[in-house]
A and B are shown apart, each in its own frame.
Chain A
Amino acid sequence: MTEPTVDPQPGVTVWEFAQDPNLGLRLQVLQAGEGMANWIRSPRIQKLGLALAGFTEYIHPHRVQILGGSEINYLQILKPAAKKAALDGLSGLGICCIVITRGLEPPEGLLKLSIPVLGTSFQSSVSIARITDYLEGRLAPRMTIHGVLLDVFGLGVLLLGPSGIGKSECALELVLKGHRLVSDDCVEIMRHGVDRLVGAGGPNLEHHMELRGLGIINIKELFGISATGRNKTLDFAVRLQRWEKDAEYDRLGLERSSIEFLGVSIPLIEMPVAPGRNVATLIEVAARIHLLGQQGHHPAKELLARLHPATGNN
């Protein structure tokens, strides 16, 4: 599993940023200029205060710049020449865009700088929170893999394994047991922060599933809203594989494997599939074990400690 490669540096264009209703700020374009194709490449914002005061070294061109009440009030106390100098100082820094908050009037001269200026009626604090949240989601490193993502007892369980091994059938059985399907077949994995993986369905796939013999079915239509989920933090992965006589499987539950996506590891259970092994039930039990483990219980270790008190876990 060497490929796929990580995307080239992710980005959102100012145009997309201004149009996307998911941002929730109802942005208005006050000045478009030629900069609507500029790239926003960081979820962090900056406030323009220091730059207006003349200290422009720390301006990051690919961050959204916020112009709020304090900045605008500061500009108002400046003499006209100083104000013009402050604003002119902003051009040439490569700033991708400026967002004016609280529905404030853009200061005179700002719209002439050929930097895109957007306006929102929301306060700076709300705007900054929503912009950061939106951009963190949009700019998160992501990849699409072949697998099934389920919510089992509230845990995000990623089913892996070659096609035809029975991932979808297993997922269907888990849905029938009352668990939720997030995505069958294609899972888009995003890294939030440095240590959390979130999985969601591939675009347009929604909650469709293919079952050999039946073709494509829609889990949401067949089983309702409570049988499906939109996205889920990944807690552990289960890799289904054909039972091989000579292969060695974990008999104690002491070994822990893991699998890595986008630089984050999650626990991996290698699960042999054979007639008479109800994989859905096994996965349900695996989820229960994981929940116990989160509370510090470990059945195998506890049994061994009782059998061999002197040697502890060994």
Chain B
Amino acid sequence: MIRQVIQVENRLGLHARAAAKLVRLACRFASSVHVSREGANQRIDAKSILGVLMLSAAQGTRLVLLIEGEDEAEAGQAIRRLFEERFGEEN
């Protein structure tokens, strides 16, 4: 299992389209992907759009990702890249 902490960097935060991108990406992997706000007692499935929307993670929010499964390494990298590229929405 991989545990990584990612900070939301893009200005708009995990808004609808960014959330949809994250969910679509997570769904491509066989591994389970769970996400929660750092320090919060929650376990939200990153493959479900409602859950990710409910996080209402604004810019600067720190999220904990828990990825578990055969392709966890690739999934972890891909998701990290998505956050680092700010969901492809800023130059």
Contacts and interface: CB of A to CB of B under 8 A. Distances in A.
Interface of A: 1, 3-8, 142-146, 162-164, 184-186, 202-205, 208-210, 216
B49 A143 contact: no
B47 A186 contact: no
14 contacts: A1-B43, A4-B41, A8-B39, A143-B43, A144-B43, A163-B47, A164-B47, A185-B50, A185-B54, A186-B50, A204-B56, A205-B54, A208-B50, A210-B48
B43 A145 contact: yes
Contact of B45 (A3, A4, A163): A163
A163 B48 contact: yes
A4 B36 contact: yes
B75 interface: no
B51 to A, nearest CB: 5
Interface residues of B, number: 20
Contacts of B27: 163-164
Contact of B50 (A3, A7, A162, A209): A209
Contacts of B36: 4, 144
Given A3-B66, A4-B36, A164-B27, A216 B43 contact: no
Contacts of B41: 4-7, 142-144
Contacts of B44: 144, 146, 186
Contacts of A145: 42-43
A4 B43 contact: yes
A77 to B, nearest CB: 49
Contacts of A204: 54, 56
Contacts of B54: 185-186, 202-205
B50 A205 contact: yes
Contact of B32 (A162, A202, A216): A162
7 smallest beta-carbon distances between A and B, as pairs: A144-B42, A163-B47, A146-B45, A185-B50, A143-B41, A7-B41, A202-B54
Interface in B28-87: 32, 34, 36, 39-45, 47-51, 53-54, 56, 66
Nearest to A183: B50
Contacts of B50: 184-186, 205, 208-210, 216
A6 B56 CA distance: 21
A204 B53 CA distance: 9
Contacts of B42: 4, 143-145, 186
